[in-house]
Amino acid sequence: MENINFGIDLGTTNSGIGKFYQGKVNIFKNPVGFRDTLPSVVAYRNSRILVGDKARELISVQPENVFSSFKRKMGSEHIYAVPAINENKTAINFSELVLRELINFVGDDKPTAAVITIPASFDTIQSNATKTAGYNAGLQEIVLLQEPIAACLAYANLQNIPINEDKTWLVYDFGGGTFDVALVNINNRELKVMDHEGNNFLGGLDIDNLMVEHILCPVLESELGISDLWKQIVGTEDSPYKKLFFELLYRAEEAKKELSIKESAFVELDIDSKFIELEITRQRFNELIHPKVIETITLTNRLLQKNSISKHQIERIILVGGTTYIPYVKTTLQKEFATIVDSSIDPTTAIIVGASYYAGTKTRQLSTSITDEKEVQTMLNDVKLAYEVNSQDDDELLVALVPNEFSGYYRITRSDGGFDTGLITFHSRFTEFLKLIPKNSNFFNVKIFDKYQNLVYEKENLVINHGIYNITGQPLPNDICLEIDDSLGTTYLEKIFRKNDILPLSKKLYKTISKPILKDSGEKLIINIVEGRAETSPASNLCIGYLEIKSEMLSANLLKGTDIEIDFEISESRDLTVNVFIGAIDLEITEVFNASAKQVSPSKIQHELENSLINVDEELLSSHHQEYSPTIDQLNDVRLEIIDLLRELIEIEGDLVTDRIYNIDERKRKVFQIYDDLVRRKHLLAEIDNYQTSKMEVKESLLLKPNPRIEGLFNKVIKNEAQFLNSNQLSLIKSKTKELDKISNEIYYQEDESYINLFYFYAYRELNEYADEKLARNFINGGEKAIAEANYKELRGIINGLYSLLKEKPKNYFDDKDGTLGLK
Ligand code: ADP
Ligand code: MG
């Protein structure tokens, strides 16, 4: 058995690679400058590709051929034009180059498998994009690990902090491009991420931009007599000031770093042979970055609130990411949280270290040479071995049970030869303390012999990791849902997996088809899987799997109500596999979904913001009279944030250079979520009301006319009432209400007389609503006759005829079999 061992931090600004070996992590040095990390920058010069520091240096010479911060656009549609080679590239292409360069640091023993870290907030598309980059770089096997977990693994393994009881840690990762904060539960064996918050577009780079916009540009404007310099800089892709912009960004960043150790920093600029010098004080700097720091504190508080964790329950805050070098960040955190703010491990390499520890416990799946843990001999059945895979002790107890009063010998050896029990007799069971090599993966071989010393059972490569903290698993960052169409035309989301479920996951769902699909009719059945929040509308979520079953694929017609079985699977590294099985026509389709791209459009965001502003205003107007409405203050906060975002959208109009649009998009999603949470309770209560009304209706009808069959149906629907009414899931309660309404319908149409009402519903329509007026007239006359003769069978046929003649069908009638899977 072989472990992955290599860990890679593929960062927005800096990346690095390490290897776990005999209980320790070795970080491979960047030969340039002998540093631990490689700037995530790629440049093209003539036919040469430069990566890292050399690429970075080119920025002031040929900025149009230098690319950085592309991780922020991982999984997006963004295309980078590279003039030097006259080609287009994507964030995946650039990431591949960074990974190749990192792999080069390693020397001869190059990795073919690695753990690569991703921000906890990366969705499926971004995760898949990361893996694609890794495969393109030549890795055959990739395991993704969320960065906050990597950070905790580094701290837990490196710092001998005694952890005897459950503790909650907060990982505060403020890097170059992203901010991530995670709540981690840690006990003496395992780490588990409870929840996380973050913003993919908030980092050190934003601070550099702020410094250029608000400190450097105003000085240059007055010194050089240019107006609106910032606007001109960000205004066009090929601004005459582009070179200057990168120069300024570079100078700002240098000054920022200096301010982490000094009270003030000087920026010297030599522009158009004019020498400009300015001083930035820490005070001024702190004021400038204050809103950004507050943004991180707000996200952190939200995370605590959401999880009902109070500040003093946090045992320590772990600082990760280069931006946490800024003293103001640290002091603000200290003031705000009054707990240990731990920065004892280099915040720029902690992720590499953690990733490598994890890689040291992860077995390779595509292992070629060495056999996996396995039972070799099976002459003895049902041998049970019990032991802990991860241990903090010097030796770990192994318990073996052999059935059927077996008597014989056992022998246990450790693969390095340092431990050997020799042959020991036993009867039925044995226990043995296995000596462990500290801070390492220990491989044991267990053999059982019969009385005549013939080998009857063997287990190879039984692994016990010593002193290495492990994680229970990685949580899903968002809900994964299936889009459902009900026959009334509303679409909603049904949860397949919930946020913070531990990967890997699998689930089987049974659905029925909502409309018939005839063979070769050109129609199709759509299965749409989205990532986001189950309580929200499908449109505000991210599509991660889209499957079409076209009529050409059918061997026979698909009737409405046909059962369809769908299996969903998400691997630890976020591959989504969907298997669809339609038993009626023996059709089975399996698809694995990989990276694609998502879109961010300013006009779409504007539209969404404006719409939501209308909703918030309506809510504000009505909130005085309604119970459970959000408070005016809460709504006003939401309103202000929406207006602020709209204002920023206008401000960045024509900004093709910075990433602010992505920050806005992210903040937009956050504020919509808050709003959703505020009004959800109200909608939930309204839906519970609907449910109760529908329930009363059925109950009354049953009292008037008892019917055991219908009563059975009714009891089935209300069976787990307490559970689903408290589920917080609007769609679930809605579906129950609909089932009750269906029962009501059924009761109603059990009475022949009910068809008289239905008939008049059609008879009183305008004749021109029917496709064939003459035929409709005949039907109506026939219907009146049938009523006079009390011939209800005839009447039902006539109603069917009228229904089929209607040009526009009314909803909800003949809603007999309620399908759930949509037809578009
Ligand atoms: P990422 O995880 O995004 O790759 P890092 O954790 O390496 O990023 O952090 C990079 C960011 O940290 C950059 O924006 C850089 O300017 C900033 N940074 C690095 N050192 C310092 C410092 N001494 N003071 C302030 N900021 C710093
Ligand atoms: Mg990082």
Mean pLDDT by 10 residues, the chain (824 residues): 88 95 89 91 92 90 89 85 91 96 91 93 87 93 91 85 81 92 83 84 92 94 87 78 86 96 94 89 97 96 93 94 97 94 95 93 62 58 82 85 90 91 93 86 89 89 74 78 66 81 86 81 81 70 78 84 88 86 87 61 80 87 68 89 93 75 82 80 84 92 88 90 80 85 84 83 88 90 90 86 82 41 32
Q: What angle do CA 467, 171, 303 make, to 5 degrees?
A: 130
Regarding the beta carbon of 204 and ligand 1, being less than 6 Å apart is answered yes
Token digits for 128? Answer: 């898949």
Token digits for 387? Answer: 């032991």
Backbone angles phi, psi at 404, to 5 degrees: 60, 40
Regarding the beta carbon of 209 and ligand 1, being less than 6 Å apart is answered no
Regarding the beta carbon of 13 and ligand 1, being less than 6 Å apart is answered yes
Neighbours of ion ligand 2 (CB under 5 A): 11, 175
Regarding the beta carbon of 211 and ligand 1, being less than 6 Å apart is answered no
Burial of 705 (0-12, 13-18, 19+ CB in 10 A): exposed
Contacts of residue 261, Cβ cutoff 8 Å, sequence gap at least 6: none
Token digits for 102? Answer: 């990192």
Q: Which residues pair with 442 in a beta bridge?
A: 464
pLDDT digits (tens, 9 = 90+) for 97-148: 999 999 999 988 889 999 999 988 788 889 889 999 999 999 999 999 989 9
3-state secondary structure of 349: coil
What's the CA dihedral at 546, 549, 552, 554 to 10 degrees? Answer: 160
Q: How far is the CA of 247 from the centre of ligand 1 (A)?
A: 18
Cβ contact 199:244 at 8 Å: no
Residue 482 CA to residue 180 CA, distance in Å, equals 28
Q: How many CB atoms lie within 10 A of CB 22?
A: 11
Which residue among 9, 14, 282 is best mutated to probe the pocket of ligand 1, counting the most ligand atoms within 8 A of its Cβ? 14
For residue 513, the 8-state DSSP code is B
Strands, E, within 563-620: which ranges?
563-570, 576-582, 587-593
Q: How far is the CA of 688 from the centre of ligand 1 (A)?
A: 50
Cβ contact 177:199 at 8 Å: no
Convert 558-581 to b/e letters by CB count within 10 Å (16 or more is b). bbbbbebebebbbeebbbbebbbe
Q: 477-593: same fold as 384-466?
A: no
Dmax (CA) for the chain in angstroms is 105
Q: How many CB atoms lie within 10 A of CB 347?
A: 21
Domain 6-203+290-359 fold: Nucleotidyltransferase; domain 5 (3.30.420)
Token digits for 720? Answer: 């787990």
Q: How far is the CA of 161 from the centre of ligand 1 (A)?
A: 26
Regarding the beta carbon of 257 and ligand 1, being less than 6 Å apart is answered yes
Could you say which ligand is closest to the alpha carbon of residue 351?
2
Nearest CA to ligand 1 atom 25: 257
Residue 456 CA to residue 449 CA, distance in Å, equals 5
Atom of ligand 1 minimally distant from the CA of 204: 14
DSSP string spanning 455-477?
Answer: EEEEEEEEEEEES--EEEEPBPS
Q: How far is the CA of 127 from the centre of ligand 2 (A)?
A: 15
Alpha-carbon distance values, 726 to 169, 337, 630, 673, 681 (Å): 31, 34, 19, 20, 11
Residue 308 CA to residue 294 CA, distance in Å, equals 20
Contacts of residue 778, Cβ cutoff 8 Å, sequence gap at least 6: none
Q: How many CB atoms lie within 10 A of CB 312?
A: 9
384-466 sits in which CATH class?
A: mainly beta
Cβ contact 735:743 at 8 Å: no
Which of these, 236, 238, 233, 235, lies nearest to 208 by C-alpha position?
Answer: 233
Regarding the beta carbon of 69 and ligand 1, being less than 6 Å apart is answered no
Cβ contact 530:543 at 8 Å: yes
Which residue among 348, 352, 353 is best mutated to probe the pocket of ligand 1, counting the most ligand atoms within 8 A of its Cβ? 348
**What angle, rounded to 10 degrees, do the helices at 282-306 and 242-259 form?**
80
Q: How far is the CA of 81 from the centre of ligand 1 (A)?
A: 27
Q: How many CB atoms lie within 10 A of CB 104?
A: 15
For residue 86, the 8-state DSSP code is T
Regarding the beta carbon of 175 and ligand 1, being less than 6 Å apart is answered yes
Which residue among 10, 13, 121, 199 is best mutated to probe the pocket of ligand 1, counting the most ligand atoms within 8 A of its Cβ? 13
3-state secondary structure of 181: strand
Which residue among 208, 257, 353 is best mutated to probe the pocket of ligand 1, counting the most ligand atoms within 8 A of its Cβ? 257
Regarding the beta carbon of 119 and ligand 1, being less than 6 Å apart is answered no
Which residue among 323, 330, 659 is best mutated to probe the pocket of ligand 1, counting the most ligand atoms within 8 A of its Cβ? 323
Q: How far is the CA of 477 from the centre of ligand 1 (A)?
A: 25
3-state secondary structure of 538: helix
Q: How far is the CA of 213 from the centre of ligand 2 (A)?
A: 25
Could you say which ligand is closest to the alpha carbon of residue 117?
2
DSSP string spanning 669-693?
Answer: HHHHHHHHHHHHHHHHHHHHHHHHH
Could you say which ligand is closest to the alpha carbon of residue 148?
2
Nearest CA to ligand 1 atom 24: 257
Residue 464 CA to residue 440 CA, distance in Å, equals 8
- The domain spans of the chain are 6-203+290-359, 384-466, 477-593, 602-747, 752-805
Q: How far is the CA of 476 from the centre of ligand 2 (A)?
A: 19
Kindly tell me the number of DSSP H helices and DSSP E strands found in the chain.
20, 36
Cβ contact 673:198 at 8 Å: no
Q: Which residues pair with 399 in a beta bridge?
A: 386, 431
Nearest CA to ligand 1 atom 13: 176
Q: How far is the CA of 14 from the centre of ligand 1 (A)?
A: 8
Q: How far is the CA of 620 from the centre of ligand 1 (A)?
A: 42
The amino acid at 525: L
Regarding the beta carbon of 783 and ligand 1, being less than 6 Å apart is answered no
Domain 477-593 fold: Substrate Binding Domain Of DNAk; Chain A, domain 1 (2.60.34)
Regarding the beta carbon of 253 and ligand 1, being less than 6 Å apart is answered yes
pLDDT at 814: 43
> Is the bond preceding 504 in cis, omega lying within 30 degrees of 0?
yes
Q: What angle do CA 34, 35, 37 make, to 5 degrees?
A: 135
Could you say which ligand is closest to the alpha carbon of residue 326?
1
Residue 134 CA to residue 495 CA, distance in Å, equals 30
The helix (H) or strand (E) run that includes residue 494 is strand 491-497
Nearest CA to ligand 1 atom 23: 257
